[in-house]
Structure 1
Amino acid sequence: MHSRICAKPLLAVLLGAAGLLGSAQAQEVKYAIAAEVASMDPQFANLPGNMMVAKQMFEAISDVDGDGRLTPKLAESWKRVSANVWEFKLRRGVTFHDGSALTSEDVVYSYARPAIIPPGPATLNGFLTNIVKTEAIDALTVRITTDKPVAVLPNFLSAIPIVSKKISQNLKPEDFEAGNGVIGTGPYKFVKFLRADRVELVRNEAYWGKKPFFAKATIRFIPNPPARTAALLSGEVDAIAQVPPADMARLKQTANIEVITKPLGRYSFLVLNQASDALPLATDAAGKPLTTNPFKDVRVRRAISKAIDRSAIASRVMEGMGVPTQNPIPSTMFGYNKDLPPEPYDLAGAKKLMAEAGYPNCFTFSLLARNDNHPTDSAHVQAIGQMLSRLGCKVNVEALPTSVTMSRANKLELPMFLQSSGADHGDVGVALEYVFSHPKNNPFRKVNMQTYDSERFFKPLYEALAATDDSQREALYRDTLKVMHEEVGVIPSQLMMGTWAVRKGFKLAGRFDERLYATDLSQ
């Protein structure tokens, strides 16, 4: 009896200890991302790994949420004073990790800094190119003047982390390597950075917003897909981003693993060379070089679009990692056109159009993809090549490294290739301008051989990007997408699916940009 009397207190002690252990374990989360970090300087480069780490510690005045919608962040509100002038009101009581207050002077400095630091591999300056003046009106008011009406300025500014002027003004990007200057306003504070291995963070207990669930976060860099999966299965990490396609079925069948998927603000599409007079790497049905360019004929472009079975590509080729689309963005994002369903598969209609255009037996041409971009790109173009063979086309399919493919594309040496582009900033106009606008008008850069050049397309696009009324801008975006569909400027194929996996007991809300932040995780 005595032993039984003592067993209850002992059991209580053991349960209490187990509870404390569980609580202690819940204080830390470890997860793996595919991208590495080029620099701990948050303004050095607009690269996925850099941003996934920097945005844990640094914030912008605006943000884009997990569904791709623009939201306030360090600025609680903003307004257009005139067509070219904006005012942003900063939140009261926001402090940097060193305890100093965020002021408008930090914002002004942060927008000047990307132009004066050594340029990284993907500069942030493109988001700031339209700004001609940034002023601190008072401690919490920033006024920005642009060189032309820019309706998407708050979207652009969501990409610019705000740094402390006092801390950062004498530092170079390399000084951040050891943690110097890694002082932001974000939900996590810097602890340690081991290049090509990990970043360790601790919760900012003085954070102005909702505090993260976990007190500590370790972000592992594991570019190798099988190694990322192995780390999850072994318990080395609690979650991973970008589940390798080859491991999807296995992880879905693993009892203590949950796989999360979500349509991304990233789509794949066929780019057709519509500029060259004689289509390169192409011959007629008899094997003679083409002296004309069939892709200048909208009937040919539409025939190719109709000959592609997007549903089959999504289910069989991409194994559920794609969603057939005609829109370059998911339905949650600003500017989506609900009246544009994916082009239905119609081989008979495709053959009729091709014959009307004067190519009853189609022709021979090359189709290229990048072999180091999305893991399904090579299989994607192989499937398209086979589908177009039913149209009579002879398609030579190749998958080459990005450096080779893009170099040849920019020289207009290719007839067609599979490209992908993202809409990371919560607005379809930003995505369209990035891909389609001419170099002289593009605030970023020309990223491919995009040669679609239609006044019917550019007119509503540029009107939308300048519009002062959001409802008018959204209507203009819908018109822009409708024109691109009618003229078959490009041939959309799939919205990519984002994939994540977590161990049992962890919860994760997927994001439209496939990023993974510690603040997305809880238990």
Structure 2
Amino acid sequence: MKRMKFLLAGVAASVIAMSSAQAADLILGSATEPSAIDPQFSRTGNNQNIAMQVFDRLVQTDPAINVEPALAVSWTNVDPLTWQIKLRDGVKFHDGNPLTSEDVIFSLTRAKDIPNSPAPFSGNVGSIDSMKAIDKLTVEIKTKKPTPDFIEQVGFVYIVEKKVAEGASIEDFNSGKAAIGTGAYKFKSWTPGDNLQLTRNDAFWGKKQDFDNVTIKFISNDASRVAALRSGAVDLIDAVPPGDVKTLQGISGLKVFSIASSRMIYLALDSARDKSPFVTDKEGKPLDKNPLKDVKVRQALSELVNRQLIIDRILDGSAEAAGQLVPKGVAGNDPSIAAPAMNAENAKKLLAEAGYKDGFGITIHTSNDRFPGDAEVAQALGQMFARGGLKVNGVVAQPYNVYTKGAGAGEFSAFIFSLGNSTPTSATGLRNLLMTANKDAGTGSFNRTKYSNPAFDDAMRAATAEFDVKKRVELLQKATKLVFSDVPVIPLYWQKVHWAGKANLSYVANMTEDTSATLAGIAK
């Protein structure tokens, strides 16, 4: 991890200066940039960080991922297949039009099929069978099967105005023409590669925001982002590199806001295809048979990983080793599943049993600007695999907006990705990441390797149809144990996340890693 080394003299004065006039504006330095302003285009964090400031969802979560009302004030399970959602009265879109049931029905229908989406919301709305407006503020929704976590699914789809969004293109949203929400801030402008500007929505239904204007500067380079905060060029930054946390904590006039997140960083493996594009023999020639299809090979790769070494050396301890999707404290976590320990000898034995005593060649792909240390972690994995007898043909790092397209198109064999669990249980994450991809059923929307395990699918269907909370958690734990023993992905760690800002600011650190002006304020 690269560390910043600056002289501290004179810095305090530069970072705390903020006049009352300036205090009404916020300049936020963000590590990532959206690929589109359409709030339904992609569920990836870079897009959702912008969406949550301009648009709203039916429900929201507190910092500990507990569900709270937002545009919906109540949701009632009338019978196992019927839900009634009551909308908040008096909510207006930024153009002055009122929120109605028709906007909600349109939004949930639209979210099912957004062209070219790299991370669609289809999994959130796949359980819907039919919808109708009971009145202007009441929506009745019929589901295809009993769905106890229904509000956790549909509730996280952003609501757009039917009159504005119907027929609107991606360009219409990006230009601002269709970027009309009900959120705390209004969209002003987006200059790709540079910044995005927002203005306060004084008609917002929720808490009044502290800032009149917000400028989000896109600064993907870690060192540059930290330097921008220290020089006073920005007021707040996200994705603070773990190696800079202690330094920033020691500077008068700055504060660091930290939390252990629910985001699992993992290595996805192309285990479904007979041939994989970046798997070769040790001379670099394509293999007729994909070794990643063999569970023993996948287990071996997992046991070649020294998770704690990655955490200590690259992340400065800012993570916890993972062996499953969600950490302790999130319903569905199975306490009996520990993070696999490194066992190189057993890994070599497993490779030999699978017919790869001498190893094989593989290329690892990764983003280089999505989360702290992503490219460095990929390099470390390459070194660990090489020590286990594999020939690592390369580690390819790409900007996240490019990388997600390649991952979604199935262009890679082994690639680092992450999944943030934004709901109170593991159900949504397991459904989206590891169930067989089926748009109509709303499963596997993040299943970029096309992994399919019928036994796991059955276990998940049983879990997600169970209304008894205790039984549902037990079924989720059973499904978790079943699928992670098959190693469709290699869990690496749950990361801790850090924001840093000027001392006269506050920020609500959150498990879902949201970076938003709505979570910032002027410290009281």
**1:304 is aligned with what amino acid?**
L
- Structure 1 residue corresponding to 2:437, chosen from 417, 430, 439: 439
The equivalent of 1:198 in structure 2 is 196
The equivalent of 2:428 in structure 1 is 430
**2:302 is aligned with what amino acid?**
S
The equivalent of 1:55 in structure 2 is 52
Alignment partners' CA distance in 1, 2:320 and 2:65: 17
Matched, 1:270 2:267: yes
Matched, 1:369 2:362: no
- Structure 2 residue corresponding to 1:104, chosen from 90, 101, 105: 101
Q: Alpha-carbon deviation of 1:312?
A: 0.5
Residues paired across the two proteins, number:
497
Alignment partners' CA distance in 1, 2:299 and 2:122: 37
The equivalent of 2:150 in structure 1 is 153
Listed one character per residue, the Cα deviations across residues 439-458 of structure 1 (whole Å, up to 9, x for unaligned) are 33663666566364433322
Unaligned runs of 5+ in 1: 1-20
Mark the CA change 1:515 to 1:302 in structure 2 (over 3 Å): closer, same or farther.
same
1:128-277 correspondence runs (5 A): 128-165=125-162, 174=171, 183-186=180-183, 188-190=184-186, 192-196=188-192, 197-202=195-200, 204=202, 206-212=203-209, 214-225=210-221, 226-244=223-241, 248=245, 250-275=247-272
The equivalent of 1:500 in structure 2 is 499
1:477-516 correspondence runs (5 A): 477-516=476-515
Bigger-Rg structure (1/2): 1
Q: Alpha-carbon deviation of 1:507?
A: 2.0
Mark the CA change 1:449 to 1:54 in structure 2 (over 3 Å): closer, same or farther.
closer
Paired residue secondary structure (1:487): coil
**1:428 is aligned with what amino acid?**
S
Q: Alpha-carbon deviation of 1:61?
A: 1.0
1:331-346 correspondence runs (5 A): 331-346=328-343
Contact in 1 for aligned 2:58/2:70 (Cα 8 Å): yes
Listed one character per residue, the Cα deviations across residues 403-430 of structure 1 (whole Å, up to 9, x for unaligned) are 689759966873x443333334554222
Using the size of structure 1 for normalisation, the TM-score is: 0.80
Q: Alpha-carbon deviation of 1:325?
A: 0.7
Mark the CA change 1:248 to 1:397 in structure 2 (over 3 Å): closer, same or farther.
farther
Mark the CA change 1:99 to 1:358 in structure 2 (over 3 Å): closer, same or farther.
closer
1:443-462 correspondence runs (5 A): 443=442, 450=449, 452-462=451-461
Alignment partners' CA distance in 2, 1:94 and 1:460: 40
The equivalent of 2:376 in structure 1 is 379
The equivalent of 1:10 in structure 2 is none
Alignment partners' CA distance in 2, 1:375 and 1:208: 35
The equivalent of 1:76 in structure 2 is 73
Listed one character per residue, the Cα deviations across residues 361-388 of structure 1 (whole Å, up to 9, x for unaligned) are 5513214122445453332233233334
Paired residue secondary structure (1:474): helix
Q: Alpha-carbon deviation of 1:293?
A: 5.6
- Structure 1 residue corresponding to 2:63, chosen from 58, 66, 71: 66
Alignment partners' CA distance in 1, 2:487 and 2:176: 49
Contact in 2 for aligned 1:452/1:490 (Cα 8 Å): no
Listed one character per residue, the Cα deviations across residues 236-275 of structure 1 (whole Å, up to 9, x for unaligned) are 3211112256755653443332333333333222333434
The equivalent of 1:314 in structure 2 is 311
Q: What's the Cα RMSD here?
A: 3.8
Using the size of structure 2 for normalisation, the TM-score is: 0.80
Contact in 2 for aligned 1:39/1:177 (Cα 8 Å): yes
- Identity of counterpart residues, as a percentage? 31
Contact in 2 for aligned 1:62/1:70 (Cα 8 Å): yes
Q: Alpha-carbon deviation of 1:481?
A: 1.2
Q: Alpha-carbon deviation of 1:324?
A: 0.9
The equivalent of 1:467 in structure 2 is 466
Paired residue secondary structure (1:305): helix
The equivalent of 2:8 in structure 1 is none
Alignment partners' CA distance in 2, 1:283 and 1:390: 16
